[in-house]
Structure 1
Amino acid sequence: MNSTSSGQNGSTPVRIYEKFGTIVGKNVTVVFLGITINYLNGMLVHTFRKHQVFYHNPRYILFIHLVVNDMIQLTVAITLFVCTYVFFTISTPLCCILLAFAIFTTLNTPLNLAVMAVECYIAVCFPLRHPQLHPISTEAE
């Protein structure tokens, strides 16, 4: 049985309509939480940039890299969420750029966590050779 016998050669997108109050509530909640989380992460970045002692420890450098990566990922995800409600269609280059940022930041997070784990492993298992393996640490001493 062929259910597309009415002459249509493809599928048409089905748009589910929600009430205006629901849409506004979702978007305000998501944007508010995103701004709050990005503000807290921004305070962490500000503290890192304010104190020079953090510049010499690889743990803090990797942590702040993870924080900045998460800020970018959260901003792009919120932008894509709001765009789905605001625009019916979006230009392809803009969509590709936003998706590229979302994909790269998503793939970058586990890599950063793995490097942090390796750095901690080196610090615990080779405590006497740690300054030799991390030349940044020797400059602080």
Structure 2
Amino acid sequence: MMSGFKKFLLRGNLVELAVAVVVGATFSGLIQALVKDLITPLIAAVTGGGGPDFSEYSFTVNGAEFMYGDFINHLLSFLIIASVIYWLVVMPMTRLIAFFDRDKKATEKECPECLSDIPIDARRCAFCTVELSRVPAADRPPA
């Protein structure tokens, strides 16, 4: 019983996931410190705001205090993290996938009636049963 649990814990994917979570949490803390200690004081200095930290900003309605400044700090942190992830992970992966898919030969086409994906050599759509062109795929002009 313990050997199965040990195998589960020592699997490569689980260890990599644990490392990613720790690095992500550390990165998040770093970005929050960047926002709190550098960006918001810079914004306060430029705008002449009341203080160097947005977390102190609030307003009161009928005795209820709304601390909107802390939300601004977290929103700035989220935007910085999201843009870093987009530019350093999503964009390179999208380009890498596009690079490998550019020479991929088409194996499917779209049915002109129901817009379903069907094999390129199909003579009848499997979804709407419309009869398709009888011109062999090899003789068709490139799309």
Q: TM-score, normalised by structure 2?
A: 0.30
Higher normalized strand content (fraction of residues): 2
Higher helix proportion? 1
Structure whose alpha-carbon radius of gyration is higher: 2
If asked which structure has higher relative contact order (CA below 8 Å, sep 6+), I would say 1
